[in-house]
Structure 1
Amino acid sequence: MTDYLLHVSVPLSLLLIILLLAQQYLLKPLGARTLYALWVAVPLLLLCAAITPLLPKVIEAGAILRYQVGIQQVAAAADDINWLFWLWLSGVMLCSGFLLLSYISSRAQFNRAVPLSGSIMPAYCRQADNSSGPYITGLITPRIVLPHDFFSRFDATQQQLILQHELTHWRRGDLHLNYLALVLVSLFWFNPLVWLAYRQYRHAQELACDALVTKDASKAERIAYGYALLSSTQQPSANWWPLTHHYGDFNTMKQRITQLQRQQGISKTAVLAVMALVVSATVLLQQPVMAGVSKTQQLAAVMRIEPRYPIQAAEQGISGYVQIKFDVDAQGKVSNASVVKSSPEKVFDKEALRALEQWQYTATGKVHKDQFVQLDFELDIVQAGIERVSVTPAAKKG
C-alpha cells in the first residue's frame, strides 16, 4: 500500500498544484461551477494509477539474466517489520479517529437541537441552542441544524435561500463527495499539499453551490442572499467539524459575495478536456513509450539489493526462482516490475520484487522496457567464479 501511495505522490502533487493555481487565476473566466467540477480529476488520477498496472501486458521473449540468492540472506523477524508502513498507518488511524469524532459530535448536536416539525420548516430541520449552523450533515438522510437566532436574524426570503443552499449540497452529493475527499486526505496525510487542496476544494464547493442556488434568482434575492452571508460571518459558528459545511471566514465570504454578481454555467468542454488529459498523462506515465531505443542495447546494474531469503522457506528447505519483467527509466531506476513466472508460486515473489525495485542501472537517458531477470533462491551456495549452466531435458521428437 505504501509503495502505491509513494508512487502516485509525485503526479498527485503536480495535479494538486495545477488545481490550486486554477482556483486562484481561472475563477473569473471559467466560473465557480466549472472549477469545482475539475476536482474530480483527483480521484480519476488515483483510479487510473491503480488500474493501469493491472492491464494485460504482452510478454516478449528475451534473454533472462540470472542472480542467485543464498541462505545467508535469511531475514530476521524484526527486519520484516516495515516501519514506514506502520508510521503511515498511525497517521491514517489518527485522521480516521478525528473524523469519527466529528460524525459523532454532529449527530449528537442534531439530537440535542429542538425539532421544528410543527412549523413550516421540514421535519429534518432542527434549531440548535447556540450559534452553531446553519449546516447540513447526514449519511443516508439529510439533517439540517439552524442557529438559535435563525428566525430573528434572517427574513423569510433569506431563510428560504439558506435552506435551498443546504439542500443543494445534499442533492448534488457534496456531502458524500466530502467523505471521499476526507478518505483521500487520511490516506495521503503526509503530503501537505493534500491538506491545502482539501481546504480549497471545500471553498470551490461553496462557490459552486452559491452559483447554482442564485442561478435563477432575482437581483433582490441575490442582495438578500449576500446579506445572509455577511450575517453568518458576523455570527461565527460555535464549532466546526470537517463533515459539516461552514459558511467561511470574512475573506472567503467576501469572495462568495463578489461571485454572486457573476452568473456562469458549467463548461462541459473544459471539464472533459481536463479529464481526458489526466487519463492520458497517467497512462503514459505508467506505460512510457520507447522511441528509437535499441532492443539489443544492454544495461548494466550498478547497484543490486540482495533479496532476503524468507524464513519459512529456509526452515522448510524450499528452493525456487522468480522471473521478473521490468522497465528501466532514463535515470536507471526500475519501474513497472511484475512477476512473469515463479516456482513455487507466491513463495519468493514479494521479496524478489521488493529487492528488484531498489536496483539501479546505468543512466542512458532513454527508457528501456521489457527487461527480464531471474532470481534463484538456492539453499546451497555456489562459490563465486564458478560458471553455472542450466541443463534442461530435450523436447521429445514427434
Structure 2
Amino acid sequence: MIEWIVNQQAALSIALVFLILLERMFCVRVGIGLMYRLWLLVPLVLIVNNLPLEDAVVVTNSYARYVVNVTPSLAKEDVNSLFIAWISGIIVLSLYTGYHSLKLLRSLRKSACFGRPVYVSEVVSTPLLFGLILPKIVVPTDFDSIFEPTQQRLILEHENTHYKHGDHIWNALALLLLILCWFNPFIWLGVRSFRTSQELACDNNVLRQKTFTERKLYAKALVQCAEHTSVHLTSYPTLGGKSTMLKRLNFITKPTKVSKTLAVTSSLLALALSANTVLAKLPQQTVNMQKVNEAMPVKRVDPVYPAEAVENNQEGSVTLQFDINEDGATDNITIVESKPANIFNDSAKTALAQWQYKPRIQGGKAQRQTDLLVQLDFKLSPPAQN
C-alpha cells in the first residue's frame, strides 16, 4: 500500500502546485466557476497515473552468487520506520477528525425556525453542511440572533449550493487523500486552496442575481462568521474561514473581469499535465540490457543453515530462478538445481522471498525483470579471504 502511495506523489504534487499557484494568483481572472472545475485535474491525474497500460517486461540472464556460512545472521523482520510513521499519522488524523465529527453528530437537534430542515448545535461556531450520505445544514445556537432574516436566507442558500455542488462528497474525498498522504505538504496547501475555490464558487452562485444591499449584507455575514470560525480539520464545508475571507470580500466588493485568454491557457495546461502523465506511463521501446543485468539486492536476508546439515557436516548449493517485480520484491521463485537434493531448498527459498531489489526504472516507469538467477552456496566455514 505504501509503495502505491509513494508512487502517486510526483504526478500528484505537480498537479497540486499548478492548481495552488493558479488559485492564489489568478483565481478570479480565470473565472471562479472554471477554477473550481479545474480541481478535477487531481482525481484525473490519479486515475491516469494508475491506468493499466501495458508494462514492458525485461528479460535478463543475470547470475549472482552468495555464500552462506554456518553462523549466518539470523533472518530478522526489519522494522520499517517509514511505514510505522505513515500509519501513525493516519491513525492520529483519523481519530482527530472522527472525534470532532462524532462530537458534532451527538450535539445536533432539529430546529423548526427555518423554512427547511436545519439543525442547531452548540459545538459549531459557523453555519456548515454536515454529513456524507444525508447531509444536514447545521447552524450555531445563536444563529437567529446574530444574523438578520436576509442574511439568514443568504447563508442557507449558500449551504444549499454546497449540497447541489456535491461539496460534501468532494470534501470527504479531499480529506481521505489528505489523511493517506499527510506527509506531502502540497496536499495540505492544496486542500486549503480547494476549499477557497469551493467557497468562491458558492458565493458566485448565491450572489449572481442579488442586489447591492443583499451583497453588502452577505459580506457582513461572512465577516461575522470568520470571527467565530473553527480551525478543526473536517470533511464538511463551513461558511466561515479567515484564510479565505479577504479574497471572498474582494470578489464581492470589487468584481474583476474574467480573462478569456487566461482561462483557455489554464485549461490547456491542465490537459497538458494529464497528457504528460499518460506519456510518462508508456513503456520505452528500447531497454539498456547491460544496466538491467546489474540488479543488486538492497536488502538481503541470509538463509538459516539447516541444523540437520550442520549435524551431518553437509555443504551444498542451491540455484534459484526468480523475477523482480515493479516494487523491487522477488517473485515466482523456483529451484533450478540443488546439491545435494532437497537439503537446502526450503531455507534458500524462504530467504530469497525476503530479498528486496531497487526497482529498475526506464522512462519514469518501473519495469518487471524476469528469469534472474542466483546461487546460494552453503559452507561450513567462512570463505577464504583474498
1:343 aligned to 313, 318, 334, which one? 334
CA distance in 2, matches of 1:249, 1:315: 68
Name 1:301's counterpart in structure 2: 294
- C-alpha spacing 1:253/1:223, structure 2 compared with 1 (3 Å): same
- Note the C-alpha offset of 1:138: 1.1
Name 2:312's counterpart in structure 1: none
- Note the C-alpha offset of 1:173: 1.4
For 1:118-267, what aligned pairs fall within 5 Å after superposition? Answer: 119-123=113-117, 125-129=118-122, 132-234=125-227, 236-237=228-229, 240-250=232-242, 252-260=244-252, 261-262=255-256
- Note the C-alpha offset of 1:90: 1.0
Q: Which amino acid counterpart does residue 103 of structure 2 have in structure 1?
A: S
CA distance in 2, matches of 1:3, 1:74: 30
Name 1:355's counterpart in structure 2: 357
The DSSP-based 3-state class of the residue aligned with 1:26 is helix
Flag the structure with more relative contact order, 1 or 2, with Cα contacts below 8 A and sequence separation at least 6: 2
Say if 1:240 and 1:246, in contact at 8 Å, map to a contact too: no
CA distance in 2, matches of 1:95, 1:6: 19
CA distance in 2, matches of 1:289, 1:271: 30
For 1:277-292, what aligned pairs fall within 5 Å after superposition? Answer: 277-287=272-282, 289=284
Higher fraction of strand: 2
Name 1:6's counterpart in structure 2: 6
Per-residue CA deviation, residues 163-196 of structure 1 (Å, 9 max, x unaligned), is 0111111221111211111111111112222222
Name 2:63's counterpart in structure 1: 66
Q: Which amino acid counterpart does residue 78 of structure 2 have in structure 1?
A: D
CA distance in 1, matches of 2:164, 2:364: 50
Name 1:26's counterpart in structure 2: 26
CA distance in 2, matches of 1:201, 1:366: 29
Q: Which amino acid counterpart does residue 355 of structure 1 have in structure 2?
A: Y
Structure 1: 5+ residue runs without aligned partners? Answer: 326-334, 386-398
CA distance in 2, matches of 1:239, 1:156: 27
Q: Which amino acid counterpart does residue 246 of structure 2 have in structure 1?
A: K
- Note the C-alpha offset of 1:350: 5.5
- Note the C-alpha offset of 1:306: 5.5
CA distance in 2, matches of 1:177, 1:367: 30
- C-alpha spacing 1:71/1:240, structure 2 compared with 1 (3 Å): same
Say if 1:169 and 1:209, in contact at 8 Å, map to a contact too: yes
TM-score (normalizing by structure 2): 0.75
* Alignment of 1:36 onto 2:27: no
- C-alpha spacing 1:243/1:324, structure 2 compared with 1 (3 Å): closer
Say if 2:104 and 2:124, in contact at 8 Å, map to a contact too: no
* Alignment of 1:46 onto 2:37: no
What root-mean-square deviation, in Å, do the aligned CA atoms of Structure 1 and Structure 2 show? Answer: 4.3
The DSSP-based 3-state class of the residue aligned with 2:133 is coil
1:100 aligned to 98, 102, 119, which one? 98
- C-alpha spacing 1:299/1:77, structure 2 compared with 1 (3 Å): closer
Identity of aligned residues (%): 25
The DSSP-based 3-state class of the residue aligned with 2:279 is helix
CA distance in 2, matches of 1:33, 1:314: 69
CA distance in 2, matches of 1:315, 1:48: 52
- Note the C-alpha offset of 1:301: 3.2
The DSSP-based 3-state class of the residue aligned with 1:247 is coil
CA distance in 2, matches of 1:279, 1:179: 23
- Note the C-alpha offset of 1:288: 5.7
The DSSP-based 3-state class of the residue aligned with 2:129 is strand
